[in-house]
A and B are shown apart, each in its own frame.
Chain A
């Protein structure tokens, strides 16, 4: 009891990671452990997360729950953790190397694919769409966009007009959308790689008095509100909260010698106007699934 778990997340600004953090806290509280958060002061800074790993190793927490800011560049950091013999659970972005107790995440590709399909079906399998990408080179963006593209390929009458990055930034998405609307008089669907950008696109459409169906990814409160209000079509559920819960549970259970699972890849759920209710609560008031439920989601056990 009273184990200390160090939790590494990518930044302090994206609501998604806040959901993960709340999940870890929730799980730790019910299991009588405590978490300490390490977040780069500069969003997504690789050198800074490496430094934080080194500093944390000096402090020797009992276990680590780890989201790499970059799945490849952070491998040396993971190896240092391994050398220091601190058990570590990988969450959200699957690290390209290093030894982990388990991986807990969602499948970005399938998320993109399913949400994309949902949109295209709603459009009746035809029309013009644009994709708004996240940060170039980030695993989440690459996989989600790949999913979007594959969904589009399934529908012959759908035309992809443009695929532009807006770096997961709301304002950039808004301006990119404004500019795209100038060169494309007819846009029927917008696929954004996260909810913030989706909302930015919606604002741009509203501003120009144009209509299009917009989807995003993450299932944030804001997106749920927009879905409720009928402004947004759907959001792929990425469920950071549950990822945080399960990641922490695995870490603590391993410390206590209880059985664990080694991989949980959450199934994609598309949140739309028919099923948003469970998501319409602030993360702080949600609670973690019980271990049985969590174990049932496992895709690998040892």
Chain B
């Protein structure tokens, strides 16, 4: 990406902040998708289906929100999916062994965070490029999980624990509340705290950030730890929702999570993006899959349609931003 073209693309003329403009465009895209689906199917606009979409999006969002901060800092975390697998299996074991959902929750969050910290240490201290460090971590985690599970599954958890995945409060699924909570917290952290600002600065130019006195290593470790912790959250919601743990539980989710962040307007070069954008990105991806299921699109076509929509969404977004 050439400097002039890229930067030229990102400059609004008005005082309307860049982020706000991005978000508006992306919401429009999601809205358009909704209108299309509402017109071509009769079941899309039911309350049930909307809640359904939101709950499915929440699983993706947990992963993607952690990933957003990593990508903002100029890195990538490919290990989130594998992290879910390990954390879910550990949490499941602990719940089974102790009967205590609280201890299980702590185990899931703890192992997720620990993996994240390891990623952070590799990236910050050993200076291994994040793509590679977390890709290596992905394999290590898979290996550990496969070894630990030996091809078995763990299933059947106490109803109290299952609430966080399949429960409702005031008619709205609990994961949706969790999603909105993390959306608010993530947005606040990124936009309204000094640490968040420093993460943006690191992503935009790590060398300059270091020479500005930002403790780059510590912030990076924080970012990866957060991403790991969010994988831990996702693993718990998965566990509670699916009522069983198996080794490859999160495997298929890594690329969609990255896609959600990128559709949300973040740049893999770092320094650009918002948590809210990621939220909309996750929503768009989920809507596409939901729509295809509602329309009973032949399964062979699903990857193709998803692929085209991912590219279209990002392209429209870029045009939108260039216009401003």
Contacts and interface: CB of A to CB of B under 8 A. Distances in A.
A contacts B directly (C-beta below 8 A): yes
Interface in B241-277: 241-244, 246-249, 252
Contacts of B293: 164, 175-176, 179-180, 182-183
Contacts of B244: 170, 196, 199, 222
Contact of A203 (B149, B151, B152, B243): B243
Given A174-B242, A175-B56, A207-B166, A17 B43 contact: no
Given A13-B246, A183-B43, A136 B294 contact: no
Contacts of B290: 179, 182
B52 A179 contact: yes
B98 interface: no
B155 A182 contact: no
B286 to A, nearest CB: 9
A51 B52 CA distance: 43
Interface in B265-324: 289-290, 293-294, 296, 299-300
B153 interface: yes
B151 A171 contact: no
A165 to B, nearest CB: 5
Contacts of B248: 13, 43
Contacts, number: 95
A207 B58 CA distance: 15
B11 interface: no
A15 B151 contact: yes
A172 B293 CA distance: 11
B146 A13 contact: yes
Given A170-B246, A175-B56, A183-B41, A199 B155 contact: yes
B238 interface: yes
B299 A165 contact: yes
Contacts of B41: 183
Interface residues of B, number: 39
Interface residues of A, number: 38
Contact of B43 (A165, A175, A182, A206): A182
B156 interface: yes
Given A182-B48, A183-B43, A183-B294, A174 B241 contact: yes
Nearest to B154: A222
B246 A196 contact: yes
Contacts of A136: 299-300
B150 interface: yes
B6 interface: no
Given A171-B252, A208-B48, A225-B156, A18 B151 contact: yes
A178 interface: yes
A14 interface: yes
A135 B290 CA distance: 20
Interface string B12-54: 0000000000000000000000000000010110101100100
Q: Tell which of A136, A170, A176, A203 has the most Cβ of chain B within 10 Å.
A: A170
Interface in B213-254: 238, 241-244, 246-249, 252
A116 interface: no
Interface in B141-163: 142, 146, 149-153, 155-156
6 contacts: A15-B153, A170-B244, A179-B294, A181-B48, A182-B43, A182-B48
Interface of B: 41, 43-44, 46, 48-49, 52, 55-56, 59, 139, 142, 146, 149-153, 155-156, 166, 173, 238, 241-244, 246-249, 252, 289-290, 293-294, 296, 299-300
The 9 A-B pairs of least Cβ separation, nearest first, read: A18-B151, A179-B293, A12-B146, A13-B248, A182-B49, A182-B43, A13-B247, A165-B299, A183-B43
Given A13-B151, A175-B289, A203-B241, 13 more contacts: A12-B146, A12-B151, A18-B150, A41-B142, A136-B300, A169-B252, A174-B242, A176-B293, A182-B52, A196-B244, A220-B153, A222-B155, A225-B156
Interface of A: 12-15, 17-18, 21, 41, 43, 133, 136, 162, 164-165, 169-172, 174-176, 178-183, 196, 199-200, 203, 206-208, 220-222, 225
